[in-house]
Structure 1
Amino acid sequence: MKKPFYKKWWFILIVAIIVLGAIGNMAGEDDATKEKDTKDKVETSAKAPENKDSSKDDKKDNVKEDKKEEIVGVGAPLEVGDAMFTLNGVELADQVGPSVLPTKASGKYIVLDVTYKNNGNKAVTIDSSFFKLKRGEKTYEADSVASMSANQGEDGNIQNSFFLQEVNPDMEIKGKVVFDLAPEVAESTDLQLQVQTGIWGTETGMINLK
């Protein structure tokens, strides 16, 4: 009596091969799925710090902008970095210096009475270039010769000329900074004094003249 075909050894072998192949495919798919899930998690975790850092950078930028935008008026001290600036007064003049040998303006002088204090830990060399007048997009530089003349007494002696003058920590100096401007500019009401720290002006502040 012959055995049914499904009991023959070759049939059993074929069925076994088919079953083992199916199991292998299923295992391969599971490994691929796990690998993809792991890769997605790694990429997601790697991207997360980037968003966090960018938000910190935005906050730092906003803080810098807020500090730069501080504006005070005449008589109010303004702290810029390790320096303290105070605009004590403003006047217009056609000439400055000793009456026997004055320096005359090409247009109209704006004479600023300024106090500078060094709150840092090292001596600072201050110059009239630390001061600029701003009107809209325009910038006006100080007249160094007129500034020296304005700080000269009738006896010819110069005090606190704001010309490459060294100021030690905790010391302050008071003197005059002069700008030679067109008369209509000098008499305008929207001029602002920009003060800065260092020759390159790494930090700046604004003081309204009126």
Structure 2
Amino acid sequence: MKKFFKFGCGGLIALFILLVIIGSLLGDDNQGTKDKEKEPVTTTNADSNKDVQENKEDNNVSIGEELKVGKVTFKANSIAEVNEISAANGYMKYTPDADGAVFLNVNVTVKNDGSEMIQTDSSFFKLKASNGASYAPSTIIVADDKYFVFEGINPGLALTGNVVFEVPAGLTDLDLQVQTGFWGTETGVINLN
């Protein structure tokens, strides 16, 4: 039994060391790939024959400009601070829960540039303030086609709707972070100022 225990512990230690070595080798290969992704990529826009710079790490545009993130194009069309939201054909009205809060209503368009249907909803958006604060979308809107809920978008089609955030009144210097996929593997930023 003692002989087996010594062999078992030694074998486990050797296996652990082997896994660490393999992991470090794979980590180095991934690091080289990450460095390549951070380099700006120049592509040609077929419509205007202009070179377009796309930086994978710093996808950043302003209101009214399109932002391509992976196989999805996002555009923030407008932004409005409101004290009340009407939903469900005007039958329901919502007001902010917190004292001194307002709703920030961001109208966005999401276009599927891929070859398969994508799913999107308001959770694909996050509001970032210059002071480091981060705001998740309000979940009060559940049954109105003016607001993003869990929606499918077929290839080549776009969907326009509102994403609502409950924020302190007068909040400025804001960015809208957008993402593709449920896990947010690809992100970009739309400046809302």
TM-score above 0.5, yes or no: yes
**Aligned match for 1:101, one of 43, 68, 92:** 92
Q: Say if 2:155 is the partner of 1:169.
A: yes
Q: Which residue of 1 aligns with 2:38?
A: 62
For 1:165, the aligned partner's letter is E
Is the helix fraction higher in 1 or 2? 1
CA change 1:56–1:208 in 2 (3 A) is same
- Deviation, 1:55, is 9.3
For 2:65, the aligned partner's letter is A
Q: Say if 2:171 is the partner of 1:188.
A: yes
Q: For 1:27-176, what aligned pairs fall within 5 Å after superposition? A: 56-57=32-33, 59-63=35-39, 66-98=55-87, 99-106=90-97, 107-136=101-130, 137-146=132-141, 148=142, 158-159=144-145, 161-176=147-162
For 2:162, the aligned partner's letter is K
Distance in 2 (alpha carbons) for counterparts of 1:60 and 1:165: 34
- Deviation, 1:138, is 2.3
Matched residue count = 146
Tell me the alpha carbon deviations over residues 161-207 of structure 1, each in whole angstroms, 9 at most, x when there is no partner: 32111111111111110000122xxx232110000001110000000
- Identity fraction in percent: 34
CA change 1:180–1:82 in 2 (3 A) is same
Distance in 2 (alpha carbons) for counterparts of 1:206 and 1:54: 25
TM-score by length of 1: 0.63
For 1:178, the aligned partner's letter is V
Q: Indicate the SS of the match to 2:140.
A: helix
Q: Indicate the SS of the match to 2:39.
A: helix
Q: Indicate the SS of the match to 2:106.
A: strand
Stretches of structure 2 that go unaligned for 5 or more consecutive residues are 1-28, 41-53
Q: Which residue of 2 aligns with 1:49?
A: none
For 2:68, the aligned partner's letter is E
Distance in 1 (alpha carbons) for counterparts of 2:38 and 2:179: 20
CA change 1:188–1:161 in 2 (3 A) is closer
For 1:143, the aligned partner's letter is S
- Deviation, 1:101, is 2.6
Q: Indicate the SS of the match to 1:67.
A: coil
For 2:187, the aligned partner's letter is T
Is the strand fraction higher in 1 or 2? 2
Distance in 1 (alpha carbons) for counterparts of 2:34 and 2:77: 36
CA change 1:89–1:59 in 2 (3 A) is same
- More displaced, 90-99 or 79-88? 90-99
